[in-house]
Structure 1
Amino acid sequence: MRRSSNQMGPGGVGLWVFKLQTGILILQGSSSSGHAETSKVSNMVEWTEFERATIQDIFSKMDYESVGHNALTRCLVVYPWTQRYFGKFGNLYNAAAIAGNPLVAAHGAVVLHGLDKAVKNMDNIKATYAELSVLHSEKLHVDPDNFRLLADCLTIVVASTLGSGFTAEVQAAFQKFLAVVTAALRKQYH
């Protein structure tokens, strides 16, 4: 993250602008009351040819059922509070029960197939996930931080699957992609 400018906001309030490699701007500063504030603003994401090719390559080789199952299992085990959204899945009492739960496996595959939509629409991920963002925000009431947790678990599973092929450059492209997807899913949250 790098600071790109220090600007004065309305009423002389300082506003720091940070630019992330993911194409998301983070605005941090203080309000007129002196309280720190942070907001995120998505802008058009620019993808390099390497990033596009890398994302396409990863997903073309991916076993959606296996990777999705392993990523969701890892998320539910490592971050047990995320289990509250899956009450209808039955037995989630321990790691073995979660890993052996067919509903966890099925939903993990659904998540990965959902990511495939972003792969096919990399220039318009925000619009691609507009309805899904509303669903998770307004109907399911999912804590938006959980998208990042699942993305982190997915990164670990993909890294273990690709082994030495998951270089720093590949990881950077993959995490940029997941950060853009996560930002799109958070879009409808207030």
Structure 2
Amino acid sequence: MFKLSGEDKANVKAVWDHVKGHEDAFGHEALGRMFTGIEQTHTYFPDKDLNEGSFALHSHGKKVMGALSNAVAHIDDLEATLVKLSDKHAHDLMVDPAEFPRLAEDILVVLGFHLPAKFTYAVQCSIDKFLHVTMRLCISKYR
């Protein structure tokens, strides 16, 4: 598994300062991209309207990005921070672990699009590593 360096952590925190307050919008867009591009992801929300602009998409997007904001706030103890989320996704929701990296890619796209001046090569690599670590921890309970 990737390890986050001090520079990675600083880069993630610096970018996340610009995400704060926009979790709803960024999460909505990232999930919208995933739900549009990967049809089978709809199976986790059979009774929800997942169309662009829907309440369900905004609500869940805010939850996802809020969880990532919490992870950033506790970046030095990600494993303990994400244990409940991992349990929930593995045992209650039974989300296919293959969906997590796909969502991470969509989050990277959204952040790069909305924060182009902040998204240098080094920052992109740090965010990618952070998302990789968080996603791996979220699927760690599947074993």
| Correspondence 1:184 to 2:137 | yes
| Correspondence 1:54 to 2:7 | no
| Long gaps (5+) in structure 2 | none
Q: TM-score, normalised by structure 1?
A: 0.70
| Correspondence 1:66 to 2:19 | no
Greater strand content = 1
Greater helix content = 2
Identify which of 16, 37, 44 aligns with 1:78: 37
Deviation digits for residues 95-123 of structure 1, max 9, x if unmatched?
Answer: xxx11211111110110010011101112
2:61 maps to 108
Q: Rg bigger for which structure?
A: 1
Deviation digits for residues 116-158 of structure 1, max 9, x if unmatched?
Answer: 1110111211121111111111111100111111110000000
Identify which of 112, 115, 122 aligns with 2:75: 122
| Long gaps (5+) in structure 1 | 1-21, 24-44, 93-97
Structure 2 distance, partners of 1:161, 1:100, is 18
Change (3 A) 1:46 1:75: closer
Structure 2 distance, partners of 1:88, 1:187, is 28
Higher relative contact order (CA 8 A, sep 6+): 2
Instruction: Give the fraction of aligned pairs with identical amino acids, expressed as a percent.
Output: 29
Deviation digits for residues 48-85 of structure 1, max 9, x if unmatched?
Answer: 2x222211111111111110110010110011111110
Number of equivalenced pairs? 141
**Aligned Cα RMSD in Å?**
1.3
* Aligned partner of residue 129 in structure 1, secondary structure: helix
| Correspondence 1:88 to 2:41 | no
1:28 maps to none
